[in-house]
Structure 1
Amino acid sequence: MPKSARRAAAVAVLAVAVCGALAACEGQPVAAPAAGPIVTAIGDATSVAPPPAEREPVVQPAPVEVAITFPQTGSGQWMFTPGSDEVAGTRGRLLRYRIALETDIDGVGPVDFARQIRGILGDPRGWTAGGQWRLQQVGPEDAADFTIYLATPASRDKLCGGTPDGYTSCRNGSNVVLNVARWANAVPNYGAPIDVYRQYMVTHETGHRLGQGHELCPGPGRPAPVMEQQTLGLHGCVPNPWPFPDGDREYAGPPGEYNDPIPAGAS
């Protein structure tokens, strides 16, 4: 979405400091975010348009793939999307999450991005399949247990803390941080379509927020556990973005992680 259109789509700007959202601790519900300035995207995620009047059918053109562009260092300003009435899962503890996109990112529509996140977290092969969790997206003014950020590489480093790498995504306390460079470009030699990689990165980082640690490949040719660090290497496994790939039994590997380097000069 061009910056001008994104600004035109905004309904509120709240000028507050960035540090409040970054200080949220794991396990504590987070009040309305103090990360800003905050721009709330217009439109209700659960609204239903009225049926159109009868007329001749209109042939819609095929959707055009829009390139995703972003600076290496963003502004640190966030567009939060509206909440949804949808609740993923039928039993277990309810966790509420917000969705925020850095305003410097073009080519990612906030409403469509939020729909993709809800689809991934609500997939019957995802974390809600085990009956331990239910997940619901809420709006920027609602209390939430974590926030999913789509961030530029430099903002990823600030949100993640620790050693900056500008390459991976992460979870840090109540921040689930998706690096837009990975959302746009995935990783070399992943061996699956980009949609599969996006499913993996959302499910993996959210898994950390749910208390999951890293896992190893259980054997050559087998699906990679979703908690394997697939961004850095598959180690003989094949891509897999789901903790419950068959929908009824959790799939996992041995606990642990590989000492894989961050690709030099990568973005």
Structure 2
Amino acid sequence: MPKTARRAAAAAVLALAVGGGVAACGEGQPVAAPAAGPILTAIGDATSVPPPPDERAPVTQAAPAEAAISFPRTGSGQWMFTPGSDEVAGPAGRLMRYRIAIETDIDGVGPGEFAKAIRTILGDPRGWTAGGQWRLQQVGPSDSADFTIYLATPASRDKLCGGTPDSYTSCRNGSNVVLNVARWANAVPNYGAPLDVYRQYMVTHETGHRLGQGHELCPGPGQRAPVMEQQTLGLHGCVPNPWPFPDGGREYAGPSGEYDDPIPAGDS
């Protein structure tokens, strides 16, 4: 969505909210959005994590030219929730419903295109639904959901994730699956795979945490990295891999554990 169109949509939804057309109910779950449009809600309504000190000065981070994504370090904490879908990924297993929300300050990521990318990743036959334990479905902002996937600016990532702020990684915190837009736009240095592969990894890894998966280690030099290895911080001799079932058959995993890798400074 072009920047001006998104701002207009956000303003229209905000006007409805002020006028009583949009509200939030118990535990910060929003009620129905305007027909065929996004819903705007404050980050304070989306999470119980207290916000950090106010940071108003925006620092725009420019993505590679082909990505055409820009964003401030500190966003507004206002979200566009996308409409749901009838698609259900996976033939069997427990149904897990998820919402999708994009912070309104992010330019160059259309809500519809982003939601489609998330559904495609989570519905891939090499993903979490391949083992028959899980089915996944995107729902709308007024529907009951098991988790929400946020595309957040670095400072909002820190609010939603809780713990020690780093503005660099993505995370899962309770029912929040938080994708740092800096990583969505720029991936990480020396990852060794295209941006699309890194995006598949970050979505699958953080969703894996919501499905009860812990961190894993590289099983050996030159082998595929388990999707639950912290590939953002280092591959430790493995090669990038974004899937738990990379061959569509038996689940691929490594030894349980995590490395003591330093987290890079900043939010680029």
Q: Which residue of 2 aligns with 1:174?
A: 175
Task: Name the CA distance, whole Å, in 2 between partners of 1:8 and 1:123.
Answer: 34
Give the Å deviation of 1:242. 0.0
Structure 1's unaligned 5+ residue stretches are 22-31, 44-63
Instruction: Please show how residues 143-162 of structure 1 align to structure 2 within 5 Å.
Output: 143-162=144-163
Q: Which residue of 1 aligns with 2:47?
A: none
- TM-score computed with the length of structure 1 as normaliser: 0.82
Aligned-CA RMSD value: 2.2
Q: Secondary structure in 2 aligned to 1:74?
A: coil
Name the amino acid aligned to 2:243: W
Superposed CA deviations along residues 111-161 of structure 1, whole A, max 9, x for unmatched, are 000000000000000000000000000001111000000000000000000
Specify whether residues 203 and 143 from structure 1 end up closer, same or farther in structure 2 by C-alpha distance, changes over 3 A only: same
**Counterpart check, 1:244 vs 2:241:** no
Q: Aligned residues: percent identity?
A: 82
Q: Which residue of 2 aligns with 1:196?
A: 197
Task: Name the CA distance, whole Å, in 1 between partners of 2:245 and 2:25.
Answer: 36
Q: 1:33 pairs with 21, 30, 34, which one?
A: 30
Paired residues in the alignment total 234
Task: Name the CA distance, whole Å, in 2 between partners of 1:240 and 1:249.
Answer: 15
Q: Which residue of 1 aligns with 2:37?
A: 42
5-14 vs 256-265, which moves further: 5-14
CA contact (8 A) 1:3 1:103 kept: no
Superposed CA deviations along residues 214-250 of structure 1, whole A, max 9, x for unmatched, are 0000000000000000000000000000000010110
Give the Å deviation of 1:20. 4.2
Specify whether residues 19 and 219 from structure 1 end up closer, same or farther in structure 2 by C-alpha distance, changes over 3 A only: farther
Give the Å deviation of 1:261. 0.4
Task: Name the CA distance, whole Å, in 2 between partners of 1:126 and 1:179.
Answer: 21
Q: Which residue of 2 aligns with 1:185?
A: 186
Q: Secondary structure in 2 aligned to 1:207?
A: helix
Name the amino acid aligned to 1:123: D
- TM-score computed with the length of structure 2 as normaliser: 0.82
Superposed CA deviations along residues 67-121 of structure 1, whole A, max 9, x for unmatched, are 1000000000000011000000010000100000000000001000000000000
Structure with the bigger percentage of helix: 2
Q: Which residue of 2 aligns with 1:122?
A: 123
Q: Secondary structure in 2 aligned to 1:157?
A: helix
Structure 2's unaligned 5+ residue stretches are 39-64
CA contact (8 A) 2:73 2:267 kept: no
Give the Å deviation of 1:4. 2.3
